[in-house]
């Protein structure tokens, strides 16, 4: 996955920019994820940062299912923990610290969100292999990358790696100023 000092990783000091009202207006989590999140799911928000998507996903699950808020940086996970402490969300959001070179989950998931983070991963093939091992049959992975960091050519290269790892492209939903792909495992 990288390490906490990896220059590719968004520093904890920038967490405020990842969770604010302007971003909520431009990248509303409910609007982006509503077609894909359903009651009873186990959802992995990989690279969750300060929990911008994790908290809304937990609300969308309406008390059934759970969110695994996973990040490499302890500081980001502390921000999520502080936001949910003492609330009903504390029971629906599991905090998970990734290892330096892998996610390290022991359970399987129905949906994975990779929002603005896969470009930060040095070994995307290794990440895709691990995701394949924890994705339930019929599960989906939603990758959203920023146009300002990821060129069209780089994104297309990533899609090639995704296909080579045995995933099928389902669609490319529209998200403001982003490149997206929704995938599942080939049967």
Share of the chain above pLDDT 90, in %: 80
What's the confidence (pLDDT) of residue 142?
98
The single-letter DSSP state of residue 72 is: S
Give the pLDDT score at 72. 93
Q: Mean pLDDT across the stretch 96-111?
A: 95
Average pLDDT, the chain: 90
The pLDDT, as a whole number, for residue 81 is: 97
Q: What is the DSSP string of 158-172?
A: HHHHHHHTTEEEEE-
Q: Read off the pLDDT band of 11 (50, 70, 90).
A: low
CATH of domain 12-185: 3.40.50.150
Alpha-carbon distance 43 to 53, whole Å? Answer: 11
C-alpha pair distances (Å), 79 with each of 15, 66, 84, 102: 9, 18, 9, 21
User: pLDDT, tens digit, for every residue of 31-74?
Assistant: 999 999 999 999 999 999 999 999 999 999 998 999 999 999 99
Helix, strand, coil tally for the chain in percent (to 5): 35, 25, 35
19-35 pLDDT, tens per residue? Answer: 656 666 678 999 999 99
Strand ranges, E, within the chain: 42-46, 66-71, 93-97, 109-115, 135-146, 167-171, 178-185
CA 41 centroid distance within chain: 15
Return the axis-axis angle of helices 152-164 and 124-134, rounded to nearest 10°.
50
């Amino acid at each position: 996955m990288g390490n906490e000092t990896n220059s590719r990783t968004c520093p904890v000091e920038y967490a405020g920019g990842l969770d604010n009202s302007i971003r909520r207006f431009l990248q509303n989590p409910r609007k982006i994820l509503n077609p894909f999140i359903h009651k009873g799911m186990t959802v992995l928000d990989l690279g969750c940062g300060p929990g911008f998507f994790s908290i809304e996903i937990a609300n969308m699950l309406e008390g059934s299912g759970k969110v695994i808020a996973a990040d490499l940086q302890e500081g980001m996970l502390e921000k999520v923990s502080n936001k949910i402490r003492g609330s009903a969300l504390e029971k629906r959001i599991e905090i998970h610290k990734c290892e330096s070179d892998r996610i390290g989950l022991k359970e399987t998931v129905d949906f994975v969100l990779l929002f603005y983070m896969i470009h930060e991963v040095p070994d995307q093939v290794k990440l895709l292999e691990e995701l394949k091992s924890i994705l339930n049959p019929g599960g989906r992975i939603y990758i959203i990358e920023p146009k300002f960091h990821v060129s069209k050519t780089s994104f297309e290269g990533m899609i090639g790696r995704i296909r080579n790892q045995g995933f099928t492209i389902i669609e490319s939903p529209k998200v403001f100023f982003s490149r997206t792909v929704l995938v599942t495992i080939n049967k």
